[in-house]
Amino acid sequence: MAAGAYGVPQCRMRFFLWGAGPMEEIIVGHGNEPCELHTTVLLGDVISDLPEVANDADQDEMPYGNAPRTVFQKFIRLKRHDIFGYMGTKKNDPLKSVLYDHRPLQLNQDDYERVCHVPKVKGANFRNLPGVLVGPDNVVRLDPSVKRALCTSGKPLVLDNAKTSNFCGLLTLSFTHVAVYKQVPDYAIKFEAGRSSKPFGRLGMDDIVATVVTRAEPHNQVILHLDQDRVLSVRENARLQGFPDCYKLHGPIKERYMQVGNAVSFSVSIPLGYCLAKAIQGASSTTPLTLPFQFPDCLGQLKSARQESELDSKHSF
């Protein structure tokens, strides 16, 4: 099952295997029947309403700061009662809308400086950093014409050993000499034999992501925000998985990324659970199933339910 077929901008492909008793009749309901697809949901549809945060942001809760801009954002902000009305009550929902877990993994100073040098355009990556050449074979190489900076003593700041391989030169500011880390790390150049453009890659708002993973380091994946010098936050990753904003994660920041990355996409779990419940009830059939609560149709259903509730309350007086 592809998560992107269920309303999220992610190409996450997962295989689910269910077993049945030897006496059970197995009904295969899928085939080549034509189906009507919804409009593709893109990254901007999912995260463009979230407030700007810095690389070192550490707030677990904050206000949204603005209204939802897309249909998806209206859905993802629904309160727990509106999504799981049959499981809980309104008294369990917070009185005010609170945004949880919108904080990124804080990059170390080296990586943060590299990220700040990556242009804020879709598809930019470590190849856009100074001193990088891309050959006709699509292999990355360092520009040999770029001279190695020297210390005031005249000796190279970068020595040929592993312990100092992260240093690149001397940055002269007025009368002060400051050692800076190499903008282009060796692992980025060597990754996939120099043919990868993933390290320190920026996403575009009209993109979809490959797969939300458990790590947020930008060393070998495209996970940089388009307009901000940081990786995608825990909440942004959770939205890519389809988790409503009412889901609050716990634990250290790296564990939260792992919780989101290891999970089955929320938008995929709903049809899986619904089909399993139908099978348990013996209500399966060969006809396609229509989910009772599915994005984006659920917003219309919710509006109708609220209107009916308001009419009922008026008639009760």
54 alpha-carbon distance from chain centroid = 16
What does residue 178 show for φ and ψ, rounded to 5 degrees?
A: -125, 125
132 with 184: CB under 8 angstroms? yes
8 with 241: CB under 8 angstroms? yes
Q: Where are the alpha helices (DSSP H) in the chain?
A: 43-47, 71-76, 80-83, 109-117, 186-190, 234-240, 253-262, 266-280, 297-315
CB-facing half-sphere around the CA of 201: CA atoms within 13 A: 15
Rounded Cα distance between 238 and 76, Å, is 10
Rounded Cα distance between 247 and 115, Å, is 29
Structure tokens at 20: 């049945």
Structure tokens at 130: 């100074």
Helices (H) and strands (E) in the chain, counts: 9, 8
Q: Which of 38, 33, 32, 28 is nearest to 5 (CA)?
A: 38
Residue showing tokens 């250290």: 252
Q: Which of 204, 228, 216, 208 is nearest to 260 (CA)?
A: 216
Give the strand pairing for 140-142 and 132-134: antiparallel
Helix (H) / strand (E) element for 201: namely strand 201-202
Task: Give me the tens of pLDDT residue by residue for the chain, a chain 317 residues long.
Answer: 888 888 899 988 888 888 888 887 776 666 666 777 778 899 999 999 999 999 999 999 999 999 999 999 998 998 887 776 544 445 555 657 899 999 999 998 888 888 988 999 999 998 888 778 899 999 988 888 875 433 345 543 333 333 334 434 333 333 333 333 356 777 888 888 989 999 999 999 999 998 999 999 999 999 999 999 999 999 999 999 999 999 999 999 999 999 999 999 998 988 888 888 888 887 777 777 777 666 656 555 555 555 544 444 444 44
Structure tokens at 30: 């899928």
Residues recorded for the chain: 317
49 with 66: CB under 8 angstroms? yes
Structure tokens at 86: 């049959």
Residue 66 burial (CB count, 10 A): 11
Three-state SS at 70: coil
Please name each of the domains of the chain with its CATH number.
Answer: 3-106+205-315 (3.90.120), 136-182 (no CATH)
